[in-house]
Amino acid sequence: MIDEIGFERLTTAMVAERAGASIGTVYRYFPDRIAVVDALAIRCTQRLAARFVAALDASGAETWQQACDALIDETAELYRTEPGFRAIRFGDTADTGTGDAEDRMGALGTAVGQIMRDRFGLPDNERIARAWVVLAESGHAVLARAHRDREHPDTALIAEYRTMSRAHMESVVAAG
């Protein structure tokens, strides 16, 4: 619904109607529309992390560069196929009125960093941790724009993001 009408117009009554539930049932789990959006964002973050790990396992990625490509591919696929994922725009706190988007992006960056350390031996330092957050923030902005038309995503824009993210991470990793 957020994808269709935007956060500003979303009400808990609309959520209840779409879910086929009573308003009381919705309020039992979500005190307000912000809680609904937060729950959706958490679910989307978890789904992206799970898909990323599955893609790494399926592809047999041997380098962190291949892992970055897999992450971009999985994120782009979720933007293309899941309305809830497109609607959240993780780093855009103005959309929801909450301050939790920053925490979600930090958590996503931390999770990606941990996977890269565990699987590819990347170092654990503040600069690399910050780079993952920067790439997560910029990636969601670029991928949201690239998927404005979900039937015809701007693949050139996605390719440009892939090039930028790889170059940035290579420079950060090289600097140690």
Q: Is the pLDDT of residue 129 over 80?
A: yes
Check: pTM over 0.85? Answer yes or no: no
Q: What is the pLDDT of residue 10?
A: 86
Q: Is the pLDDT of residue 148 over 50?
A: yes
User: Residue 95 — very low, low, confident or very high, per pLDDT cuts 50/70/90?
Assistant: very low
> Please, what sign has the CA dihedral across residues 136, 156, 52, 67?
negative
As its CATH architecture, domain 34-175 has Orthogonal Bundle (1.10)
Q: Is the pLDDT of residue 42 over 50?
A: yes
Cβ proximity of 77 and 55 under 8 Å: no
Highest-scoring range by mean pLDDT, 8-12, 44-48, 163-167: 163-167
| Measured distance CA(49)–CA(43) in Å, rounded | 10
